[in-house]
Structure 1
Amino acid sequence: MLLAVGGRWDIAVAAWVFPVLLLRFTRLSRAWSGALWIWLAHVGAAVFWVQESAIGFNAVVLAGALALAAVQTLPFLADRLLAGRLRPVPATLVFPAGVAAAEFLITLLSPFGTAYGSLAVTQHADLPLLQVVSVTGPWGIGFLIGYVASTVSRVREHGDRSSWRGGLVCTAVLLGVLLAGGARLAFLPSEGATVRIAGVSPSRTVTERQQATLARFADGPGGVAAAPAAAVRPVMTAVEKDLLAATRREAAAGAKIVIWPEEGVRTQEPEESAAIAAARAEARRSHVYLEIGVRVYSTTAPAYGRNEALLIDPRGTVLWTYQKAHPIPGSERFTPGDGHVPVVRTPYGRLADVICYDADFPALMRTRADIMLVPAHDWKEYGGAHTGKAALAAVEGGYALFRQDAEGVSAAYDDHGQVLATGDYFTTGRQTTVAHVPVRGGTTVYDRIGDTFAWLCLAALAALTLTAVVRPRRPAGP
């Protein structure tokens, strides 16, 4: 399970193996003592993920780990309590329905989205399998993994003709999903016109100088906001000039859309209008659509600022100002935005925008767009894993996605989740990612029906529970 937590050391096949082993354990244990051990195992996995990703512990992270582990334990407990009271076919469905329902509840009720607790994100590189999320959302992959585990467990426990027939059905379902996904990739490729998009981040030299200067203020964002302009403005201006120069360079090379990372420009509140004016002038001069990430330092507590993204058109007009809808729990104190994803029509299709962690919330990402711009800001231990997960959003929404990550891995994906370009901040000299991105997206089943599959899993689990309660317990044996 430690190799299937959505971190940098994930091995995709591990996500298919560990549920088989844990399910076997619970079926051989007493219901409540087994559930306690499963909960402890999930707590351990959450702690491992936090350490692996270099997130750092705080009260919110600890509370989240304990709560998420409890939700992730419920499918195992449901299988232990209900499967013995049901006929073979419905008994096999308890665990997969429980896995999908638990993952859905985590994103619906918690502030963590799919950042942790989703098995689908461990499969982001398996493109044929990944296509199923265009119908079911990420819950479909969790269901399939749970279905395989439940089926293998039944075959292992009983080994009769009925269980082997169930195994053949499960194999046929899984092969059908993979074949359908492969056919979608082969026969419905992303074709047509493309637009050259460049993602630019400031150079490491100016970034590190800015970080060193801002770190001197012990009060954090509030201290930076209250600092004398002469103490912080030079390093902030150096980063801004670096980004403007990179924008000009990429526009001259043919880019029509340029995206800066999350918090690409940092500015005290009185200087915000000047920073935006400089970006507007560059968009006019270079004749590009320019997406800029801005970190505004304000003296107003408790947020002490804003985390914004602005899209500027080639005439220098600001088309939107979007505020991050999902600040990172325990880490960011920004006031959340309204969660309305902006969409504008351009000669290069419908452009939309969210910021970094927002992309971990499938409901927010279900937007009719052709290209989704995602300015982001991660760190070395988590940037690659976080960007890889963004492929799911592209497939779910049926749009291309460009994620420009400061101090992480940047990538562009088409609407099938195929990588168009990628760049690692820590291994490249120039912090630029360039891709020719399709300007026309498509409508997916998931975009139209939303989380219907997840709600059906919840309804199925409720129906199976009711059936098990009113049905006498089956005698032991095949």
Structure 2
Amino acid sequence: MTKHSVTNLPVGPAGAMAQPHRAPTTASNYAKRSERSASATRWVLLALGTGTMLFAVGGRWDIAAAAWIFPVLLLRFTRLNRVWAGTLWIWLAHIVAAVFWVQESAIGFSLVVITGLTALAALQTLPFLADRLLVERLRPAVAALAFPAGVAAGEFLITVLSPFGTAYGSLAVTQYGDLPLLQVISITGPWGIGFLIAYFASTVNRIWQRPSWHSGVVYGVVLLTVVLAGGARLALSPPTGATVRIAGVSPSRTVTDALQATLSRFADGATGIASAPASEVEPSMNAVENDLLASTRREAAAGAKIVVWPEEALKTQESHESAAIAAAQGQARRSRIYLEIGVRVYSTTAPAHGRDEAVLIDPGGKVLWTYQKAHPIPGSEKFDPGDGRVPVVDTPYGRIANVICYDADFPAMMHTRADIMLVPSHDWKEYGGPHTEKASLRAIDSGYSLIRQDAQGVATAYDNEGHVLATTDAFTTGRQTMVAYVPTHGVTTVYDRIGDAFAWLCLTGVIVLTFTALARPWRRTAASTGTHPDSSAA
């Protein structure tokens, strides 16, 4: 018999063999599981916040609620992360959103666009960084204002420092159609909407971190006051008084397509068109001009007192410009109307081979002004900008002013004491609707009716409270014509009087809060290290 060695096992009571000893779960294992859970939570917040932000960028797929949700998620992400790691991810999230906006709006990528949007994304990240650095150095009620003040100030700085205006980066445009809420911009400018949305995110995060009913009540009172006051403005002081019939006309698709086919034969673009033999381009250009003149006669006979052509409606070589304008003058004189025409001049002498102009003609056939576009689209339109002085004239139908398309994306420029603002425009299918919606904010904050005749987009007339008076989509008809009865008297808004005082107040507030925070000791709490109380930072 072979002898086997037997391991001595402990014997328990009553002679039973005891089980091997198992070490209890250690605090270290618990901490690791908590850390993995916290890390997963942070990545989910970042993914959901970034995904939601794609539908709140001022594009054709915007969802109003998305603008309120994504800052909540991204702000929570930054508060649960290390300062600089979280900031970098937020910057990348905004770059993703910017790229999505360019793609879904069919704007086209260029070095100018990519560089500009990367810089804008960095500017949009600063409020998150400010909140992360200041929130634990300030009293909770004061700290709650750091993020909204930063967002409002950042949106304002985008229009001051960049060539993009409010085309990208303004949360106010995502709330298009919510007229009671939007009335606040008649006091604060568009920055007030960004402040309210960011204040909501700050409040939710405060409750999320330290449940309390007090902060929710304070925010609820603020938002309810804004909405009720806006509703009261709409109900108690609607635009009243005399109106004027205004018609917006665009050339028919038939003559437009024929002209485009002619111009596309010149490989050098504006340079080639400017120097092309007149016999090759004038027939198609004249066909568009005649079509516009016929539409103008028709609308004048129907009762229109002001007729608006879109931006670049009339394309002409410089040598033919005087004759083209003279034909429009003759039509205005015969129809006894104010006629605003958009002219694209191809020139061999202008620095960028052309000009983008709007010409207003009175019922006597006199040219009241020739206004040149002040804000060419960055990376796309290369002609020299105008001086940015918005022309205004007194008429029997109120004070009429005029800018061109992209100019309306710059609120400071649009501070004009006028009753009716004419905005001839020329967009494209993917961007025409959203761009017209952005322009509606200028009607509310500046207190005038706004007429945006968009040749390849959505033409719309708004009153000074943002109500849609008429609208026509160029891509749903072969001949785009819009007719609206427009109030001849605007209003003077608080924003019109004080300008960007609210934005400057927010910018000053961020600076004051920063210095206040520096004077206070750093509180070493879970939030200040960017972690959950039971986890370590990622």
For Structure 1 versus Structure 2, the TM-score category normalised by the shorter chain is over 0.9
Matched, 1:327 2:379: no
* Contact in 2 for aligned 1:132/1:177 (Cα 8 Å): yes
Which of residues 2, 9, 17 in structure 1 aligns to 2:69?
17
Structure 2 distance, partners of 1:476, 1:40, is 27
Counterpart residue number, 2:236:
187
Structure 2 distance, partners of 1:123, 1:320, is 35
Which of residues 152, 158, 174 in structure 2 aligns to 1:122?
174
Counterpart residue number, 2:306:
257
* Contact in 2 for aligned 1:292/1:310 (Cα 8 Å): yes
* Contact in 2 for aligned 1:86/1:474 (Cα 8 Å): no
Counterpart residue number, 1:416:
465
Counterpart residue number, 1:101:
153
Which of residues 424, 427, 442 in structure 2 aligns to 1:375?
424
- Indicate the SS of the match to 2:466: coil
Query: Shift in Å at residue 124 of structure 1?
Result: 1.8
Structure 1 distance, partners of 2:218, 2:501, is 23
Matched, 1:175 2:227: no
Structure 2 distance, partners of 1:127, 1:355, is 25
Query: Shift in Å at residue 299 of structure 1?
Result: 1.1
Q: How many equivalent pairs are there? A: 475
Structure 1 distance, partners of 2:55, 2:484, is 31
The percentage of aligned residue pairs carrying the same residue is 74
Query: Shift in Å at residue 300 of structure 1?
Result: 2.8
Query: Shift in Å at residue 428 of structure 1?
Result: 2.0
- Indicate the SS of the match to 2:144: helix
Structure 1 distance, partners of 2:307, 2:271, is 31
Counterpart residue number, 1:241:
290
Which of residues 511, 520, 538 in structure 2 aligns to 1:471?
520
Matched, 1:66 2:140: no
Which of residues 238, 244, 262 in structure 2 aligns to 1:213?
262
Query: Shift in Å at residue 287 of structure 1?
Result: 0.7
* Contact in 2 for aligned 1:302/1:333 (Cα 8 Å): no
Counterpart residue number, 2:57:
5
Structure 2 distance, partners of 1:440, 1:320, is 22
- Indicate the SS of the match to 1:461: helix
- Indicate the SS of the match to 1:284: helix
Counterpart residue number, 1:45:
97
Structure 1 distance, partners of 2:437, 2:258, is 29
- Indicate the SS of the match to 2:424: strand
Matched, 1:131 2:183: yes
Counterpart residue number, 1:204:
253
Structure 1 distance, partners of 2:224, 2:281, is 58
Counterpart residue number, 2:9:
none
* Contact in 2 for aligned 1:283/1:290 (Cα 8 Å): yes
> Structure 1 counterpart of 2:167, which letter?
A
> Structure 2 counterpart of 1:168, which letter?
V
Query: Structure 1 length normalisation: TM-score?
Result: 0.98
Structure 2 distance, partners of 1:312, 1:430, is 23
Query: Shift in Å at residue 301 of structure 1?
Result: 5.6
> Structure 2 counterpart of 1:336, which letter?
P
Matched, 1:362 2:400: no
Counterpart residue number, 1:392:
441
Matched, 1:296 2:345: yes
Counterpart residue number, 1:447:
496
Structure 2 distance, partners of 1:410, 1:95, is 36
Structure 1 distance, partners of 2:525, 2:229, is 39
- Indicate the SS of the match to 1:270: helix
* Contact in 2 for aligned 1:135/1:446 (Cα 8 Å): yes
- Indicate the SS of the match to 2:145: helix
> Structure 1 counterpart of 2:273, which letter?
V
Query: Shift in Å at residue 475 of structure 1?
Result: 4.5
> Structure 1 counterpart of 2:337, which letter?
V
Matched, 1:80 2:80: no
Counterpart residue number, 2:33:
none
Structure 2 distance, partners of 1:21, 1:425, is 38
- Indicate the SS of the match to 1:362: coil
Q: Considering only CA atoms, is the larger Rg found in Structure 1 or Structure 2?
A: 2
* Contact in 2 for aligned 1:158/1:477 (Cα 8 Å): no
Query: Structure 2 length normalisation: TM-score?
Result: 0.88
- Indicate the SS of the match to 1:308: strand
Query: Shift in Å at residue 112 of structure 1?
Result: 0.2
> Structure 2 counterpart of 1:232, which letter?
V
Runs of 4+ with deviation above 6 angstroms: none
Which of residues 308, 324, 329 in structure 1 aligns to 2:357?
308
Structure 2 distance, partners of 1:377, 1:281, is 25
Query: Shift in Å at residue 125 of structure 1?
Result: 1.1
> Structure 2 counterpart of 1:20, which letter?
V
* Contact in 2 for aligned 1:409/1:422 (Cα 8 Å): yes
Deviations 1:22-43 (A, max 9, x none): 0000000111010100000000
Counterpart residue number, 1:433:
482
- Indicate the SS of the match to 1:85: coil
Q: Which moved more, 1:253-262 or 1:296-305?
A: 296-305
Q: RMSD of aligned C-alpha atoms? A: 0.9
- Indicate the SS of the match to 2:368: strand
Structure 2 distance, partners of 1:437, 1:59, is 42
Structure 1 distance, partners of 2:59, 2:475, is 18
Unaligned runs of 5+ in 1: none
